[in-house]
């Protein structure tokens, strides 16, 4: 651990903040040691309070596809701040961001801006229930949709990292209507929908799962899901809080040619500021207050600074070569696999676009049960060795690592060198 100041700050933080952090995974419980305290970020790098520099693969958990402190994003946010930080009243920029998202994602005919992915997913589920008049919802084990009660069941991300995929404090009455299935298991889904469709309001899914490590949908799984939900009048919600604008300038729905009824977005569309959204079919969205009877509101929703950051980010991303980035990361993962083969290590790497997870298991990982076969102790040792060498990986086996447009070839070569040295 290179950062002396970080250790001191963590001790102090623990006196006042629960576990010293404001979001559990940051505490490093899963990997041991003390988290680094960040002073600043620039491009693909972060700097701790001792001014140690790290190549960052967390990138604010995927929010910073353009890299840290992107000049165009900073400029837009600074300009917006000069006019005030919040009004609780409409601004033209909110419509501009909504128009940009709708143009990129045609299935989003109408949209509502909110502050976090949790809010987006929670509200989309409420809307689906209000629209259909049904109560039950279906999610998939290991998918994470934020921390609202009904979705915090067999959840991935921090919930899995901390070994509590089902949180204390979630009343049975909230989780009773949540049905959990295995990701990529179309037969179970089909059986369930055929028998219970009269009670099921929606199916919510990460079209590419990224909260139990990265897991790709099997061919036909999403198509089958769409066909079943359409046939039985069940709202299909794609939670693209991670996927949205990550693989293409649009959504995974666009990429796979599948049109969900509702889509949740977050992270990238706020450019690192607190902004998220949900949107989709007009007839469903118009059930929202003030037009319809489904209530959802927010003091800071469509916040001018966050919206300015979002618009600037999307303008920049519209000009970027996504396929080149995805190809570069594919090549890097290929080289990692070559190194694993040379060392006779049978770990598996899953990649989707510019996100990847190295699973410390010899199983090919298709679902939550597969991800859970990973050797988390071995992962933790690898994580610490990489951090000591200045590489900041996601501090949990059950997360993705995010490469951004700011990572250059030389950065990825550095990552590969450290990988070759520390993987065992």
Catalytic member of 136, 139, 154, 267: 267
Residue 211 sits in the site that holds ligand PLP (CB under 6 A): yes
**Is 287 an active-site residue?**
no
The residue among 144 and 322 lying less far from ligand PLP, judged by its C-beta, is: 144
CB-CB contact of 411 with 328 (8 Å)? no
> Strand, helix or coil at 229?
helix
Choice from 118, 326, 374, 404 touching ligand PLP (CB under 6 A)? 118
CB-CB contact of 86 with 300 (8 Å)? yes
Residue 266 sits in the site that holds ligand PLP (CB under 6 A): yes
* Of 97-105, 115-123, 359-367, 377-385: span binding ligand PLP (CB under 6 A): 115-123
The residue among 17 and 291 lying less far from ligand PLP, judged by its C-beta, is: 17
Instruction: Please enumerate in sequence order all residues whose Cβ is within 8 A of that of 95, keeping only pairs 6 or more positions apart, or say none.
Output: none
Name residues contacting ligand PLP, limited to 183-202 (CB under 6 A). none
Catalytic member of 48, 56, 239, 367: 239
Name residues contacting ligand PLP, limited to 5-24 (CB under 6 A). none
The residue among 238 and 347 lying less far from ligand PLP, judged by its C-beta, is: 238
Q: Give the DSSP letter string of 337-387.
A: HHHHHHTT---EEEEETTEEEEESSSS---SHHHHTTS-HHHHHHHHHHHH
Question: Tokens at residue 408, please?
Answer: 């250059």
Distances (CA, A) of 422 to 48, 329, 417: 22, 19, 9
* Of 89-97, 113-121, 308-316, 390-398: span binding ligand PLP (CB under 6 A): 113-121
Closest-CA residue to 160 (of 361, 392, 371, 362): 371
The residue among 112 and 145 lying less far from ligand PLP, judged by its C-beta, is: 145
CB-CB contact of 31 with 380 (8 Å)? yes
Residue 144 sits in the site that holds ligand PLP (CB under 6 A): yes
Residue 239 sits in the site that holds ligand PLP (CB under 6 A): yes
The residue among 144 and 245 lying less far from ligand PLP, judged by its C-beta, is: 144
> Strand, helix or coil at 226?
helix
Q: Report whether the peptide linkage leading into residue 290 is cis, meaning its omega lies within 30 degrees of zero.
A: yes
* Residue sitting closest to ligand PLP (CB): 117
Count, residues near ligand PLP per rule CB under 6 A: 16
* Of 142-150, 327-335, 346-354, 415-423: span binding ligand PLP (CB under 6 A): 142-150
* Of 1-9, 100-108, 143-151, 407-415: span binding ligand PLP (CB under 6 A): 143-151
Question: Tokens at residue 41, please?
Answer: 């970020």
Cα-only R_g, the chain = 21
* Of 235-243, 338-346, 349-357, 371-379: span binding ligand PLP (CB under 6 A): 235-243
Closest-CA residue to 408 (of 76, 2, 163, 44): 44
The residue among 143 and 200 lying less far from ligand PLP, judged by its C-beta, is: 143
In DSSP terms, which residues pair with 136 in a beta bridge? 200
**Is 282 an active-site residue?**
no
Measured from the CB of residue 195, what is the shortest distance to ligand PLP in angstroms? 28
**Is 149 an active-site residue?**
no
Choice from 145, 154, 351, 384 touching ligand PLP (CB under 6 A)? 145
Angle between helices 304-318 and 92-104 (to 10 degrees): 30
Residue 121 sits in the site that holds ligand PLP (CB under 6 A): yes
Residue 241 sits in the site that holds ligand PLP (CB under 6 A): yes
> Strand, helix or coil at 16?
helix
CB-CB contact of 37 with 20 (8 Å)? no
Residue 242 sits in the site that holds ligand PLP (CB under 6 A): yes
> Strand, helix or coil at 37?
coil
Output the CA torsion 132→278→106→317 (10° steps): -160
Cα–Cα dist 134/274, whole Å: 31
Catalytic member of 28, 54, 144, 278: 144
Residue 146 sits in the site that holds ligand PLP (CB under 6 A): yes
Catalytic residue numbers, as ranges: 144, 239, 267
Q: Which residues contact ligand PLP (rule: CB under 6 A)?
A: 61, 116-118, 121, 144-146, 157, 206, 211, 239, 241-242, 266, 276
């Amino acid at each position: 651990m290179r950062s002396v100041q970080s250790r001191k700050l963590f001790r102090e933080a623990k006196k006042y903040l629960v576990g010293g952090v404001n979001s559990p995974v940051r505490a490093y419980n899963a990997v041991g040691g003390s988290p680094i305290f960040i002073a600043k970020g620039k491009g693909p790098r972060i700097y701790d309070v001792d001014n140690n520099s790290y190549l960052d693969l967390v990138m604010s958990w995927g929010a910073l596809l353009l890299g840290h402190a992107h000049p165009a994003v900073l400029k837009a946010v600074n300009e917006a701040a000069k006019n005030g930080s919040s009004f609780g009243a409409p601004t033209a920029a909110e419509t501009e961001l909504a128009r940009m998202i709708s143009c990129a994602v045609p299935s989003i005919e109408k949209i509502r801006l909110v502050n976090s992915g949790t809010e987006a997913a929670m509200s989309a589920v409420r809307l689906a229930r209000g629209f259909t008049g049904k109560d039950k919802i279906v999610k998939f084990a290991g998918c994470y949709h934020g921390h609202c009660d009904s979705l915090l069941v067999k959840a991935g991300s921090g919930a899995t990292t901390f070994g509590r995929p089902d949180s204390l404090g979630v009343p049975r009455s909230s989780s009773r209507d949540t049905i959990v299935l295995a990701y990529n298991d179309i037969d179970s889904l089909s059986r369930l929908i055929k028998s219970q469709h009269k009670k099921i309001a929606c199916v919510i899914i990460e079209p590419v799962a990224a909260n139990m490590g990265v897991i790709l949908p099997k061919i036909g799984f999403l198509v089958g899901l769409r066909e079943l939900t359409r046939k039985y009048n069940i709202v299909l919600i794609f939670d693209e809080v991670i996927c949205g604008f990550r693989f293409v300038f649009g959504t995974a729905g666009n990429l796979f040619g599948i049109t969900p009824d509702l889509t949740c977005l977050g992270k990238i569309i706020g450019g690192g500021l607190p902004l998220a959204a949900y949107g989709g079919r007009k007839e469903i969205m118009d059930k929202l207050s003030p037009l319809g009877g489904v209530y959802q509101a927010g003091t800071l929703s469509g916040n001018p600074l966050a919206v300015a950051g979002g618009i600037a980010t999307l303008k920049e991303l519209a000009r970027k070569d996504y396929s080149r980035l995805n190809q570069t990361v594919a090549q890097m993962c290929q080289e990692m696999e070559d190194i694993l083969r040379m060392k006779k290590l049978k770990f598996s790497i899953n990649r989707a676009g510019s996100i990847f997870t190295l699973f410390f298991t010899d199983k090919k990982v298709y679902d939550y049960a597969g991800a859970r076969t990973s050797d988390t102790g071995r992962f933790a040792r690898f994580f610490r060795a990489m951090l000591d060498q200045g590489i900041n990986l996601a501090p949990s086996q059950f997360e993705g690592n995010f490469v951004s447009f700011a990572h250059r070839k030389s950065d990825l070569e550095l990552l590969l060198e450290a990988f070759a040295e520390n993987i065992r």
